[in-house]
Structure 1
Amino acid sequence: MKAKLILLLLASYLWMPLAGAQSLYGTSTGQVKIYSDTPLETIEALNQKVGALINLESGDLAVQMKITDFNFPNKLMQEHFNENYMESEKYPMANFKGKITQKIDPAQSGTVTLKASGTMTIHGVSRPASIEGKATLGKNTIELEFRFMVKPEEYKVEIPSLVITKIAEDIEVSGKLNLIERSAL
Structure 2
Amino acid sequence: MKWVRLAWITWVLNGAVAWGEACFTVSGEVTYWASTLLNQWKGVNRSLYGELRPVAPETFQGWACVSMSDWDSGNATRDKHGRIMFEVEKYPEACYAIREARLKGTVGVVSGTMDIHGVRRPLSIEGRVESRGSDFRLKARFPTRISDWGMTPPRLMAVMNVRDEVQVEIDATLRPSPCGQVRHRPPSPGSMEAQKAAVFEAYCSFCHMPQGQGQGYYPPVTHVATFLRHPEGRAYLARVVMYGLFGPIEVSSKKYEGFFMPAFGELMDDSMLARVLNELLFALSRASPPGASPYTAEEVRRYRTPPATPADMWHFRQRIVRELSQTSP
TM-score w.r.t. length of structure 2: 0.44
Partner residue, 1:167: 162
1:183 maps to 2:178:
yes
Moved over 3 A (4+): 160-166
Paired residue for 1:147? 141
Q: Is the 8 A contact 1:23 1:55 kept in 2?
A: yes
Aligned counterparts of 1:20 and 1:113: Cα–Cα separation in 2: 23
Aligned to 2:78: 77
Judge which range, 73-82 or 165-174, deviates more. 165-174
2:25 maps to 26
Give 5+ residue unaligned stretches, structure 2: 1-17, 182-329
Contact 2:154 2:161 in 1 (8 A): no
Which shows bigger deviation, 54-63 or 71-80?
54-63
RMSD: 2.4
Q: Is 2:151 the partner of 1:157?
A: yes
Aligned position for 2:90: 90
Using a 3 Å threshold, how does the CA distance of structure 1 residues 181 and 159 change in structure 2: closer, same or farther?
Answer: same
Confirm whether residue 123 of structure 1 aligns to residue 117 of structure 2: yes
1:114 deviates by 1.9
Question: What is the number of equivalent residue pairs in this alignment?
Answer: 160
Query: Mean Cα displacement is larger for which, 38-47 or 64-73?
Result: 38-47
- Seen in structure 2, the aligned counterparts of structure 1 residues 41 and 140 have a Cα distance that, compared at 3 Å, is same
Higher relative strand content = 1
Please identify the structure whose Cα radius of gyration is greater.
2
Deviation of 1:162 (Å): 4.7
For each residue in 1:120-178, what CA deviation from the matched residue of structure 2 results, as whole angstroms up to 9, or x when unmatched? 01111001111111211343211111101111111111135555753222111102111
Percent of counterpart pairs with the same letter? 23
TM-score (structure 1 length as normaliser): 0.76
Change (3 A) 1:73 1:138: closer
The answer to which structure, 1 or 2, has the higher relative contact order (CA under 8 A, 6+ apart) is 1
Q: 2: CA distance between counterparts of 1:178 and 1:101?
A: 14
The equivalent of 1:45 in structure 2 is 43
Measure, in 2, the Cα distance between the counterparts of 1:118 and 1:175: 15
Is the helix fraction higher in 1 or 2? 2
1:113 counterpart = 2:107: yes
Q: How much has 1:23 moved relative to structure 2?
A: 3.0
Q: How far apart in 2 are the matches of 1:136 and 1:61?
A: 20
Maintained 8 Å contact 1:52/1:177? no
